[in-house]
Amino acid sequence: MKKIVFVGAGSVVFTQGLLADLVAFPELRGMRIALHDIDPERLRVAEAVARRITGHAAVVTSHLDRREALDGADFVINMVQVGGHDATVTDFEIPARYGLRQTIADTIGVGGVFRALRTFPLLDALAADISAVCPDALLLNYTNPMAMNVWYLSGKVKNVVGLCHSVYWTMRGLAELVSVPYEEVSYVAAGVNHQAWVLRFERDGEDLYPRLDVDDPELRRRVRIDMYRRLGYYPTETSEHSAEYVPWLMRHDREIDRLRIPVGEYVRISEDNLAEYRRTRDLVRNGGELDIAGTDEYAPQIIHSIVTGTPRVVYGNVVNDGLISNLPHGCVVEVPCAVDGTGVRPTAIGALPPQCAALNRGYVNVNELTVRAALEGDPRHVRHALMVDPNTAASLPLEDIWRMADDLTRAHGDLLPEALR
């Protein structure tokens, strides 16, 4: 049976959800699950959780050695967060000293850039191991910043797709908002990760967009609704995310209040994740019952489709080889992908609405300069990426941007590529 490797399996709660999704498919019974993490305690907890969830449905092994885990893999799921909670706090605290506000800080912006730079050395090592022991494996990346990481990996591994649940849960939320069962909705979205656009939203040929045009004062206090009203298309990530990818919100107290933007939100989320891990660890140690629930994530669906030939459509982050005509060739875009026994095939969308493409191009500029900084070993490009980042450029003068980059470089130290320290 197929071998599935979890890299960063110590992300126990996420690992638990993916395993629950996998064992829900009877056709995958007998699969081999190899868990890898560099933290021995987290790995032990992940293994205990995996054995409880899978029972006799899978053969579970755990490995501190990554290459050992990857040997003979068919699918590799990457969910590593390099630097963990401490690095996340650094990504918020240092910019805050300069007056720069962030909400999630994992996609673009200061937090996204430095999270990418911390992750690239891990991706180099992971790609080398895959090339050595499982070159035909499909790498399914969940690690943020999604677009930068997939762009960096392109050319380093044969098969990589970035996966994010933002489109799926956006459409779930929109269906609920307009009181239509999700199963009756048809839709198409495309753009870049965390800033794709709902291009079509229908039921039985009826355009459902007009149902969003209600005069609800509370609804208008959401960033995504505000963007939809002004741009004509709904963005596919939460308001917390969407607020920090544009230049006109985060620096203004009035907008923070009007749109109820939760500054510093991801620090709180990260603290909650740590607490949830500790709770799971203690339940495992004491023999308590785990709350096991599926998550409807794309990775298990892709694996099931490839193994069984079952056709599906998922949303994937892939290199733009003519898929979106008015975004740069070679960048990473998020588009619908057909999946079956032959693999994952991205769908060409054509041109995005010009206003949507214009915002996406600003996002892509940050991606490109960050990836170039690492590939070319040029620390100036780190600063250039921050200079063109919408929120950073709108909030800080250039001298502060460069000084902030210096401070973050010193703070993250050995986690960054050597040439960029």
**Mean pLDDT, range 243-261, rounded to an integer:** 98
Which string of DSSP letters, residue by residue, matches 315-364?
A: EEEEE-SSSBTTS-TTSEEEEEEEEETTEEEEPP-BPPPHHHHHHHHHHH
**Mean pLDDT, range 171-177, rounded to an integer:** 97
CB 107 within 8 A of CB 194: yes
Tokens matching residue 50: 């995996």
pLDDT in tens, 270-290: 999 999 999 999 999 998 888
Model confidence, pTM? 0.97
Please say whether the dihedral angle defined by the alpha carbons of residues 174, 176, 178 and 181, taken in this order, is positive or negative. positive
Percent of the residues in the chain that have a pLDDT greater than 70, as a whole number: 100
Residue 194: CB partners within 8 Å, gap ≥ 6?
107, 146, 164, 166, 236, 237, 241, 242, 245
**Mean pLDDT, range 390-398, rounded to an integer:** 98
Q: Which residues pair with 336 in a beta bridge?
A: 315
CB 316 within 8 A of CB 345: no
Residue 246 pLDDT class (50, 70, 90 cuts): very high
Cα dist. 332→77, 367, 391 in Å? 18, 9, 21
pLDDT in tens, 340-349: 999 999 999 9
Residue 34: CB partners within 8 Å, gap ≥ 6?
3, 4, 5, 6, 60, 61, 62, 63, 69, 70, 73
Residue 103 pLDDT class (50, 70, 90 cuts): very high
pLDDT in tens, 257-272: 999 999 999 999 999 9
Residue 218 pLDDT class (50, 70, 90 cuts): confident
Predicted local distance difference test score (pLDDT) of residue 75: 98
- Of 312, 314, 169, 321, nearest in space to 239 by CA: 169
Name the region of 399 (left: φ>0; alpha: ψ -120 to 50; beta: rest).
Answer: alpha
Neighbours of 320 (CB within 10 A): 21
Residue 287: CB partners within 8 Å, gap ≥ 6?
none
Neighbours of 351 (CB within 10 A): 11
**Mean pLDDT, range 348-363, rounded to an integer:** 98
Residue 165 catalytic?
yes
Percent of the residues in the chain that have a pLDDT greater than 90, as a whole number: 95
Residue 8 pLDDT class (50, 70, 90 cuts): very high
Predicted local distance difference test score (pLDDT) of residue 389: 98
Neighbours of 278 (CB within 10 A): 12
**Mean pLDDT, range 310-330, rounded to an integer:** 98
Whole-number mean pLDDT of the chain? Answer: 97
Residue 177: CB partners within 8 Å, gap ≥ 6?
211, 212
Predicted local distance difference test score (pLDDT) of residue 258: 97
Rounded Cα gap, residues 74 and 303, in angstroms:
9
- Of 273, 277, 294, nearest in space to 285 by CA: 277
Residue 292 in this model has a pLDDT that exceeds 90 = no
Tokens matching residue 290: 């785990």
Burial class of residue 176 in the structure, from the number of CB atoms within 10 Å of its CB (0-12 exposed, 13-18 middle, 19+ buried)? exposed
Q: Which of 63, 85, 165, 304 is catalytic?
A: 165
